[in-house]
């Protein structure tokens, strides 16, 4: 999960280690990387639940000198168009100059006992690609008022978010996500 400059080989090993269609995932990720150096990456393998079936999902985030690459691979049962089971890989390449925010949340258990490794970490990256609008009816402070005050709400950017837990994925996974977040932050501070 940790890499150094120009270490595409370590990314391949991390993808292979998941055992989740490594050739398919590697093909999609490296097509999006398009020959750029790999400065940092994070590979996150997680199950998803679809009714009574468990399916797998793999997220790969890659930092290159100029872009942030997001790759998501899912498995699907056959359907009307593709009768056999299949995977879908979606990649997105975001210019580092477009990254508006890198939000890192660390959850520390028993903080009064001194420094301990984070129990969980959440990385949220915003670049303005996806916006969420949360609306609710507006009201006033008069309890007898029955007028329509319209709506109030918040517009929030929420392009990508990834949560990792030491209990589920291990302390090394949390540390790896935090290292990736630090590498991304260092490349976007002047963008």
Residue 65's pLDDT is 94
**Pair of tokens at residue 100:** 């508006």
Q: CB-based burial of residue 134 (10 Å sphere; 0-12 exposed, 13-18 middle, 19+ buried)?
A: exposed
Residue 158's pLDDT is 59
Q: Look at residue 4 and tell me whether its pLDDT is greater than 50.
A: no
Q: Look at residue 79 and tell me whether its pLDDT is greater than 70.
A: yes
Residue 138's pLDDT is 83
Percentage of the chain beyond pLDDT 90 is 54
Mean pLDDT estimate for the chain: 87
CA–CA dist 98, 127 (Å, integer): 6
Residue 177's pLDDT is 97
Residue 152's pLDDT is 81
pLDDT level of residue 130 (50, 70, 90 thresholds): low
Angle between helices 22-33 and 8-18 (to 10 degrees): 150
pTM of the model: 0.80
pLDDT level of residue 5 (50, 70, 90 thresholds): very low
Quick count: other Cβ atoms within 10 Å of Cβ 99?
20
- Condensed to tens digits (0 to 9), the pLDDT of residues 21-73 reads 999 999 999 999 999 999 999 999 987 777 777 778 899 999 999 999 999 99
Q: What share of the chain is helix, strand, coil (3-state, %, to 5)?
A: 25, 40, 35
Using DSSP, state whether 86 is helix, strand or coil: strand
**Pair of tokens at residue 183:** 């590498």
């Amino acid at each position: 999960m940790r890499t150094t400059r120009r270490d595409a080989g370590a990314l391949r090993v991390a993808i292979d280690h998941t055992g989740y269609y490594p050739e398919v995932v590697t093909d999609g990720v490296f097509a999006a990387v398009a020959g750029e150096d790999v400065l940092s990456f994070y590979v996150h393998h997680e199950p998803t639940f679809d009714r009574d079936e468990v399916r797998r999902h793999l997220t790969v985030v890659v930092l290159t000198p100029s872009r942030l690459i997001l790759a998501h691979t899912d498995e699907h049962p056959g359907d009307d168009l593709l009768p056999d089971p299949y995977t879908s890989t979606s990649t997105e390449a975001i210019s580092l100059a477009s990254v508006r925010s890198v939000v890192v949340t660390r959850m520390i258990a028993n903080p009064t006992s001194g420094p301990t490794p984070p129990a969980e970490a959440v990385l949220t990256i915003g670049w303005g690609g996806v916006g969420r609008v949360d609306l609710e009816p507006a009201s006033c402070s008069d309890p007898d008022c029955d007028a329509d005050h319209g709506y109030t709400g918040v517009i929030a950017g929420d392009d990508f978010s990834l949560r990792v837990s030491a209990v589920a994925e291990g302390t090394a996974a949390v540390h790896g996500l935090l290292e990736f977040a630090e590498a991304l932050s260092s490349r976007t501070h002047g963008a």
